[in-house]
Structure 1
Amino acid sequence: MNKKNVSKWVIGIAIVALAMFLIFRLTGNKEIQGEEIEVKEGDISTYYNFSGSIEAKNKSTIFAELPLQVSEFLVEKGEKVEKGDVIYKSSTGQNVKADISGEISKIGVEENAQISPGTEIIEIVDYNELELKVKVDEYDLNSIKVGTKVEVTVNALDKIFKGEIVDISKQGVYMNGVTFFETLISVESEEGIRVGMSAEAKVLNEESNNTKILPMNSIEFRNDNTPYVNIKKDKSVKEKEIEIGITDGVNVEIKSGLEIGDKVFIPKVETNNFGPPEGVRRSDDSEVNKDE
């Protein structure tokens, strides 16, 4: 046998060996890899979320109605006043009083300056009564009403406060194809909350307590959106149809098809150089079947 024939013979053996190796990898009797998750008992809730900013419920801004001069301010910025307190005197001898109780947040002019009509002179803010102003779109409007309890999270403080819806505008504002309704939520006052801080309001939508739950990633769907889970037994995996309820995006309620303590299988998807992922490879001894 000459060298040329020997080379062809060696190459042929190598090709056959490679083919046998690939066949073995594709049809080898391997156990499907993955993890089993147990159905547990728990609570699950869904919420509507709205964003807005903290505002003062009561605020008063005093403007000049006529040309005038302030001869003397009787208060300073940051000072607290009661309704009826004299806050400044005009050059004509008029005593101007506070129309609400609160804190002097701004003094807009100087004493003895000539003031024209419409000029902002002084601002009073009541920081003891705060509210969150949010915009609710028309599709979520039926989910809220005056008196609805709300959880308010002030982002800068990373703290949750109790709130209650106190007003819903009867007239909406059309923006980007959707109509929004201004909604006011009372917020309990606490040290650290400042007017203008951003906040999130959370309103309960649905809840189910002491129910069967599974992680969302353990649920699969057929082409007709029928939900099912995988059940592993020995070296085979079967599909089992279930009925699901509400989900919070992490867990899902199992209404029927499984009981607490049952285990479902999540195949492990691994990529390799030969053939389909290990976790979904099917063979005669290790295959996935629909539950009969």
Structure 2
Amino acid sequence: MKKYVIMQAVAIPMFILALFIPVFITNSVIPVEVTTVSQANYTDDIYVNGFVEEKSKKDIFANLPLVPSKVNFRIGDKVNAGDVIAEIDTDATKNALLQLANMANFIPKEYVDAIGKLNVDEKIIKDYIPTEMTAPISGTITSISLVEGAISTPNTSVVTIIQADENRVKMSVNESDIDKVKVGDTVVFKANATKDVKYVGKVERVFPTATKTLVGTTQATVVGIYVDLAENYDKLRPGYTVNGVIHNADKEVVHIIPYEAVLQDAKNKEYVYVIRNSHAERCYIETGRELGDGIEILSPSLFDQAIVKNANDIKRDRGLVKIVKK
């Protein structure tokens, strides 16, 4: 009887423990998502900035003061080569020149000698004072300082014409990156004025010399490049500031894993958890570049290995895990 009581006293706790073992095991199994090492094409993107400028423009200079009698165009107007931009009042121009004789240092001597004669004949007027100012190229007028009845400033540009649809981008590349830039590399950029609109071009020329420039409060050495636009972008205007990246034409295949799969130990050594026989085993890794889709893994080769994606949920090495799908 005593023996029976002892066996009963042992059996009851064992029975109760047996009931709770499955619950204990279930609660100790960590649900995990898994990922694998993937391949990606990597290009060494270089960040650049600059501005839009005219690819081709023509400045019209007046060698001596001129008085227009009529100005036919304004800023923003389109002109064709040969169009008369302004008609010149030769009499008013001659009188103005004579009144400005004391400012001869502004007027070339040969003009003063010829026009300053008392008996000015038509040949001299024709040779030295133009009767009209014409457009040398077709395009759009971006600046004009001619005013009807007012004398112009000598030896300065009075009209600027840019050729239509002939914009390009001038950008600056830090000297430490310029060796990575080649003619033909793709450039993707945005203009501050047009917000999130993206534009595409290709490096057309790399400048042969470097220059100093201010970046914030520090001085940097940069090299200029010209970027040809892939198409005629109506929204881009000369003078707009732009920023973007140069995509190097040379692509490199790299192996990456998601950032959340990588942890660090107390010594800052990086590791992941690999699923083996329903357990999460710690595996130390060597990483490389940080990319947009994950971090580059250099070693070991973990292809075809199931790696725990939610690594922070693992509490200990070789713990039991259960793979779940999301």
Scaled by the length of structure 1, the TM-score of the pair is 0.69
Larger radius of gyration: 2
State the percentage of identical aligned residues.
23
**Matches of 2:69 and 2:156 in 1, distance apart?**
16
**Counterparts of residues 78-89 of structure 1 (less than 5 Å):** 78-89=76-87
**CA deviation map 1:110-136 (0-9, x unaligned):** 211122336653221123221111121
What SS is found at the alignment partner of 1:142? helix
Letter in 2 for 1:230: Y
- Checking the alignment, whether the CA contact within 8 Å between 1:154 and 1:197 is kept in structure 2 is no
- Checking the alignment, whether the CA contact within 8 Å between 1:46 and 1:246 is kept in structure 2 is no
Q: What residue is the counterpart of 2:223 in the other structure?
A: 181
**Is 1:148 matched with 2:184?**
yes
Unaligned runs of 5+ in 2: 1-25, 91-128, 321-326
- Checking the alignment, whether the CA contact within 8 Å between 2:263 and 2:270 is kept in structure 1 is yes
Unaligned runs of 5+ in 1: 1-27, 270-278, 288-292
Relative to 1, partners in 2 of residues 1:167 and 1:235: Cα closer, same or farther, differing over 3 Å? closer
Q: What residue is the counterpart of 1:258 in the other structure?
A: 301
Q: CA deviation at 1:154?
A: 3.4
Q: What residue is the counterpart of 1:48 in the other structure?
A: 46
Q: What residue is the counterpart of 2:17 in the other structure?
A: none
Aligned length: 249
Q: CA deviation at 1:173?
A: 1.3
Correspondent of 1:101 among 133, 138, 141 = 138
Correspondent of 2:282 among 225, 234, 239 = 239
Q: What residue is the counterpart of 1:165 in the other structure?
A: 204
Letter in 2 for 1:160: Y
**CA deviation map 1:143-170 (0-9, x unaligned):** 124x232223334262332322324251
- Checking the alignment, whether the CA contact within 8 Å between 2:175 and 2:210 is kept in structure 1 is no
User: Between Structure 1 and Structure 2, which shows a larger proportion of strand residues?
Assistant: 1
Letter in 1 for 2:220: V
Letter in 1 for 2:201: K
Q: What residue is the counterpart of 1:192 in the other structure?
A: 234
**Matches of 1:203 and 1:168 in 2, distance apart?**
16
What SS is found at the alignment partner of 2:67? strand
**Is 1:136 matched with 2:173?**
yes
User: Between Structure 1 and Structure 2, which shows a larger proportion of helix residues?
Assistant: 2
**Matches of 1:260 and 1:41 in 2, distance apart?**
10
**Matches of 2:247 and 2:188 in 1, distance apart?**
12
Cα RMSD over matched residues? 3.4
- Checking the alignment, whether the CA contact within 8 Å between 1:129 and 1:188 is kept in structure 2 is no
**CA deviation map 1:169-216 (0-9, x unaligned):** 51411431421223221213424232233433432346334x543223
Q: What residue is the counterpart of 2:257 in the other structure?
A: 214
